[in-house]
Amino acid sequence: MTSDRTESTKASDNLAIQTFNLTKIFNGLVAVDSIELNIKKGELFALLGPNGAGKTTTIKMLCCLLKPTGGTATVMGYDINQQPFKIKEIIGVSPQETTISEHLNAQEHLNLIGRIHNINAKELRNRSQELLETMGLAERAKDQVRKFSGGMMRRLNIMMALIHNPEVLFLDEPTLGLDPQARRAIWEYIVQLKGEKTILLTTHYMDEADFLSDRIGIMDKGKIVALGTSSELKTSMLGKHTMIIYAWNLTQKVINEMRGKYDEVRVSDGTMMISDKQLDFKEVVDHLHSSGAVIRSAYIKEPTLDDVFLRITGKELRE
Amino acid sequence: MRFLELANRNLKETYRDPLALGFLLGFPLVFMLLFVAIFSGDTISSYPIGVIDDDNTPLSQAFIDEALAEVPALEVSNYDNTVTAMEDLKFGDLTAYVVIPQGFGEQISRNWQGEEADITLQMTYDESDLMLSEQLISIMNVVTRSFARIEIPITINANPIHIETEITYADFMGPGIIVFGILILIPTSARIMVRDKEKGFLARLLTTPTKPVEFILGYSLCLVAVAIAQIIIFMVGAWSLGMAIVGSLWLAFLIFFLTSLCSIGIGMVVASLSKSENQAEPLCWLFAMPLAMLSGCWFSIEMLPSYLRAIANAFPYAHTIGASRAVLIRGVGLEAISSDLLFLVGWAVVIFAIGVILFRRSMRS
């Protein structure tokens, strides 16, 4: 199997996915803008970005569903333009839309995908049993899936991507539109897979990317605008601290004083937000207190990926 | 075998959906029953016709006494000359009269000896009722043909207008209705495939190593099963409607089966070209409806202008109607319809090839 993979250098041997100027243009609209991405084997990489950032288009190109307009990519050494069927043998894909066959039961879905991948009967039985149990669908295995809840369908969607034990897993918005409980259940399962498989996940939930991924690529308008681990992104990209104060009696005078002292001060409805590289909690509180403001609460806010996104792109992650 | 797995899935998806199944099997059934109801019972009453035997041979006598008199739809009375017959026709006592010309017996006996001799009958009728005249001519045609034991069309010199039709009304309608049913397989096929496309299930399967040919085979196998069930319903329906079945049922089935493959192929091509059910559905009817008219499902295409007939003949369905009528009603064998069969096979092969090519192209936009 390894013999016909494209020649690769030593350095790229431990890479599962590599993109080279990967570009997709739809009728003049640049959906993916020459992205360069290296994802290591066994890594869980999250593409984070708002709707329309180009995440799904990127995944579709890597799954050989879309032909790139320019550039190329390799998945486990196979070229997406030259060897699509080789890639399709070793990947598992959970598409963004819950794509199920209404009148089949859960077991039949797994059998279908398993048999298409020529998994032998015994392995298929064992794996589907195991998946049904870990994903909590064992009792509903024989029910037609049109009776399933949204969460159950999403879980089945992911199971179908896993049944043939793929080397690389693509999860496109795995928890889109699910309630917090169902999201947790799916997160827990994905965490179990970490290290075992290379996973490329897209999401527009920053907490999802934060919780699950080894590395995050923030995507906006078809470009990867930031790349790193969650903490790298938060600290090195920002390098600033933010303090939030709820207070009564904030006079224009004290607001102006604060604006003179710190980089960024914003006030609305009795809430003051102060950002700066250096921020002393006590100093701020004392200053406000001495100017007659009545402080109800004050805290240092940890930066979130949302802040990172806002800082880089100038807009909120969720519109 | 991947395509078998896909076919299995497609079948399950079809027969487990009561609505889809109801449409696929119930629609042809209701359709047939409706036609049975319309064309059975008292609708076809008997027509009084006059016969003038100018030939006056034992054969012409036998033709009148044994062949014509046996037809339930005809009330035969003998006339000596055309003058009295014409009078009765004008008064409405007769719907038509037939003149058996001299030499009729000789022509028949030559046919019995294996020669292909033209047979001529003269028929005069009231032209105001076109439907009636067409039925009469077709009845005459069938009776004469079976009497002469020939497959070639016979000549009926109809007066005042000459209309070449072939068969009785029920016989005429039977194959047409079946072919109409097969035409409806076009939207059915497209729907099954395009629904997977619309719901994204196809895209999911496209991330597996399944090849375009396997997809097409997977869908077609499922649809072939549907087609076979439908053909059986249609044939049983047409038979109970009173369609004569003279020739080989298997041969007729083969003709209908090959035609179904063409319908399935057209459906797949349409599905490959459309993104959603909303796009595919009208596109399919755009094919099916005009083809039903042009191919002769409801009326003979002999009266069509030649350019329309050329269009009709470029598609399988006119051939199907011609060939299946020849088999079912005239009892012809494989040889007589081999060119039609070859045409159908060729058509099926070409449309499936186009389907695979289009599917491959749409696989990776």
- The pLDDT of residue A92 is 94
Statement to judge: residues A75 and A96 lie in one domain: yes
B38 or A42: which leads in pLDDT: A42
> Would you say the C-alpha torsion B237, B239, B245, B247 has a positive or negative sign?
positive
Q: CA A69 → CA A32, A73, B75, distances in Å?
A: 9, 12, 78
A318 domain residue, yes or no:
no
Q: CA A102 → CA A113, B12, B196, B248, B281, distances in Å?
A: 15, 10, 10, 41, 21
Q: What's the rounded Cα separation, in Å, for the pair A260 and A172?
A: 46
Residues of A with Cβ-Cβ distance to B9 under 8 angstroms: 101, 104, 108, 112
Q: Does B213 touch chain A (CB under 8 A)?
A: no
Statement to judge: residues A170 and A255 lie in one domain: no
Q: Does B333 touch chain A (CB under 8 A)?
A: no
A1 domain residue, yes or no:
no
Q: Does B200 touch chain A (CB under 8 A)?
A: yes
**Which of the residue ranges B89-98, B171-180, B347-356 has the most confident prediction, judged by mean pLDDT?**
B347-356
A186 or B258: which leads in pLDDT: B258
A39 domain residue, yes or no:
yes
Q: Is residue B144 helix, strand or coil? A: helix
Q: Put residue B246 in one of left, alpha, beta given phi > 0 → left and psi -120 to 50 → alpha.
A: alpha
CATH number at residue A136: 3.40.50.300
Residues of B with Cβ-Cβ distance to A65 under 8 angstroms: 203, 206-207, 364
Is there a contact between B13 and A89 if contact means CB atoms under 8 Å apart?
Answer: no
Is residue A1's pLDDT more than 50? no
CATH number at residue A288: 3.30.70.100
pLDDT tens digits for range B118-165: 777 888 876 666 667 677 777 777 777 777 766 555 555 554 332 233
In this structure, the dihedral spanned by the alpha carbons of residues A52, A55, A59 and A60, taken in order and rounded to 10 degrees, is 10
Q: Which of B83, B87, B85, B119 is nearest to B101 (CA)?
A: B119
Is residue B290's pLDDT more than 50? yes
- The pLDDT of residue A257 is 87
Q: Is residue B304 very low, low, confident or very high in pLDDT (cuts 50, 70, 90)?
A: confident
Give the closest-approach CA distance of B232 to chain A in angstroms: 26
Residues of A with Cβ-Cβ distance to B207 under 8 angstroms: 63-65, 88, 91, 93, 95, 170
Q: Measured between CB atoms, which of A88, A97, A112 is closest to B207?
A: A88
Q: Does B12 touch chain A (CB under 8 A)?
A: yes
Statement to judge: residues A96 and A132 lie in one domain: yes
B288 or B172: which leads in pLDDT: B288
Statement to judge: residues A158 and A37 lie in one domain: yes
B304 or A211: which leads in pLDDT: A211
Q: Does B159 touch chain A (CB under 8 A)?
A: no
Residues of A with Cβ-Cβ distance to B13 under 8 angstroms: 101-104
Statement to judge: residues A212 and A291 lie in one domain: no
Is there a contact between B9 and A84 if contact means CB atoms under 8 Å apart?
Answer: no
Statement to judge: residues A136 and A260 lie in one domain: no
Q: Domain range holding A245?
A: 241-303
Residue B51 bridge partners (DSSP): B78, B98
Residues of B with Cβ-Cβ distance to A116 under 8 angstroms: 2, 5-6, 205, 208-210
Q: Does B199 touch chain A (CB under 8 A)?
A: yes
Statement to judge: residues A136 and A268 lie in one domain: no
Lowest-pLDDT range of A274-288, B13-27, B79-93, B144-158 = B144-158
Residue A79 bridge partners (DSSP): A74
Q: Is residue B91 very low, low, confident or very high in pLDDT (cuts 50, 70, 90)?
A: confident
Residue A24 bridge partners (DSSP): A32
Give the closest-approach CA distance of A28 to chain B in angstroms: 15
Closest residue in B to A89 (Cα–Cα):
B209
Count of CB atoms within 10 A of residue B195's CB? 18
B365 or A217: which leads in pLDDT: A217
- The pLDDT of residue B165 is 34
A234 domain residue, yes or no:
no
Q: B160 preceded by cis ω (within 30°)?
A: yes
Closest residue in A to B212 (Cα–Cα):
A85
Statement to judge: residues A159 and A11 lie in one domain: yes
Rounded to the nearest integer, the mean pLDDT of chain A is: 86
3-state secondary structure chain A: CHHHCCCCCHHHHHEEEEEEEEEEEECCEEEEEEEEEEEECCCEEEEECCCCCCHHHHHHHHCCCCCCCEEEEEECCEECCCCHHHHHHHEEEECCCCCCCCCCEHHHHHHHHHHHCCCCHHHHHHHHHHHHHHCCCHHHCCCEHHHCCHHHHHHHHHHHHHCCCCCEEEEECCCCCCCHHHHHHHHHHHHHHECCEEEEEEECCHHHHHHHCCEEEEEECCEEEEEECHHHHHHHHHCCEEEEEEEECCCHHHHHHHHHHCCEEEEECCEEEEEECCCCHHHHHHHHHHCCCEEEEEEEECCCHHHHHHHHHCCCCCC
Residue A22 bridge partners (DSSP): A35
Statement to judge: residues A215 and A102 lie in one domain: yes
Statement to judge: residues A122 and A169 lie in one domain: yes
Residue A224 bridge partners (DSSP): A219
Is there a contact between A102 and B13 if contact means CB atoms under 8 Å apart?
Answer: yes
Structure tokens at A2: 């390894």
B314 or B167: which leads in pLDDT: B314
Can you tell me the mean pLDDT for A142-151?
88
Can you tell me the mean pLDDT for A49-57?
88
- The pLDDT of residue B159 is 45
- Chain A residues with CB-CB distance to B under 8 A? 63-67, 84-85, 88-89, 91, 93, 95, 97, 99-104, 108, 112-113, 115-117, 144, 160, 170
3-state secondary structure B273-342: HCCCHHHHHHHHHHHHHHHHHHHCCCCCHHHCCHHHHHHHHHCHHHHHHHHHHHHHHHCCCCHHHHHHHH
Are A253 and A312 in contact by the 8 Å Cβ rule? The answer is no
Last residue of a domain, one of A200, A228, A256: A228
The amino acid sitting at B130 is: L
Q: Does B5 touch chain A (CB under 8 A)?
A: yes
A89 domain residue, yes or no:
yes
A134 domain residue, yes or no:
yes
Residues of B with Cβ-Cβ distance to A99 under 8 angstroms: 199-201, 203-204
Mutation target vs A (from B10, B17, B192, B204; most A CBs, 10 A cutoff): B204
- The pLDDT of residue B43 is 47
Closest residue in B to A96 (Cα–Cα):
B200
Statement to judge: residues A89 and A127 lie in one domain: yes
Residues of A with Cβ-Cβ distance to B2 under 8 angstroms: 115-116
Is there a contact between A85 and B211 if contact means CB atoms under 8 Å apart?
Answer: yes
Give the closest-approach CA distance of B198 to chain A in angstroms: 10
Q: Does B208 touch chain A (CB under 8 A)?
A: yes
Domain count, chain A: 2
Give the closest-approach CA distance of A104 to chain B in angstroms: 7
Is residue A111's pLDDT more than 80? yes
Count of CB atoms within 10 A of residue B121's CB? 21
In this structure, the dihedral spanned by the alpha carbons of residues A221, A224, A228 and A232, taken in order and rounded to 10 degrees, is -50
Residue with tokens 């903490």: A231
Is there a contact between B207 and A108 if contact means CB atoms under 8 Å apart?
Answer: no
- Entry field: residues in chain B: 365
Q: Does B9 touch chain A (CB under 8 A)?
A: yes
Enumerate long-range contacts of A206-210, CB under 8 Å, 24 or more apart.
A206/A48, A206/A304, A206/A305, A206/A306, A206/A309, A206/A317, A208/A46, A208/A175, A208/A183, A209/A46, A209/A48, A209/A305, A210/A304, A210/A305
Closest residue in B to A158 (Cα–Cα):
B204
Q: CA A35 → CA A20, A221, B274, distances in Å?
A: 7, 11, 31
Q: Is residue B36 helix, strand or coil? A: helix
Are B93 and B85 in contact by the 8 Å Cβ rule? The answer is no
- The pLDDT of residue B45 is 62
Q: Is residue A3 very low, low, confident or very high in pLDDT (cuts 50, 70, 90)?
A: very low
Closest residue in B to A62 (Cα–Cα):
B207
User: How would you class B171 by CB atoms within 10 Å of its CB: exposed for 0-12, middle for 13-18, buried for 19 or more?
Assistant: buried
Structure tokens at A295: 């402080």
- The pLDDT of residue B161 is 30
Give the angle subtended at the CA of B18 by the CAs of B17 and B22, to the nearest 5°: 120
Is there a contact between A66 and B205 if contact means CB atoms under 8 Å apart?
Answer: no
Is residue A238's pLDDT more than 90? no
Residues of A with Cβ-Cβ distance to B364 under 8 angstroms: 64-67, 84
Residues of A with Cβ-Cβ distance to B196 under 8 angstroms: 101
pLDDT tens digits for range B5-58: 899 888 888 888 887 778 777 777 787 777 766 665 544 567 888 899 888 888
- Count chain A–chain B contacts defined by CB atoms under 8 A: 69
Give the closest-approach CA distance of A310 to chain B in angstroms: 33
DSSP designation for B153: P
CA contacts within 13 A on the Cβ side of A241: 10
A310 domain residue, yes or no:
no
Can you tell me the mean pLDDT for A93-109?
89
**Alpha-carbon Rg for chain B in angstroms:** 24
Of all residues in chain B, what percent carry a pLDDT higher than 70? Answer: 85
Mutation target vs B (from A110, A112, A167; most B CBs, 10 A cutoff): A112
Is there a contact between A116 and B209 if contact means CB atoms under 8 Å apart?
Answer: yes
Of all residues in chain B, what percent carry a pLDDT higher than 90? Answer: 18
Closest residue in A to B200 (Cα–Cα):
A99
Statement to judge: residues A195 and A252 lie in one domain: no
Q: Which of B338, B337, B336 is nearest to B116 (CA)?
A: B336
Q: What's the rounded Cα separation, in Å, for the pair A95 and A161?
A: 9
Is there a contact between B207 and A89 if contact means CB atoms under 8 Å apart?
Answer: no
pLDDT tens digits for range B183-219: 888 998 998 889 888 888 888 899 999 998 899 999 9
Last residue of a domain, one of A177, A199, A228: A228
Q: What's the rounded Cα separation, in Å, for the pair A131 and A137?
A: 8
A99 domain residue, yes or no:
yes
Is there a contact between A103 and B16 if contact means CB atoms under 8 Å apart?
Answer: yes
Last residue of a domain, one of A184, A202, A228: A228
Q: Which pTM was predicted?
A: 0.72
- The pLDDT of residue B361 is 85
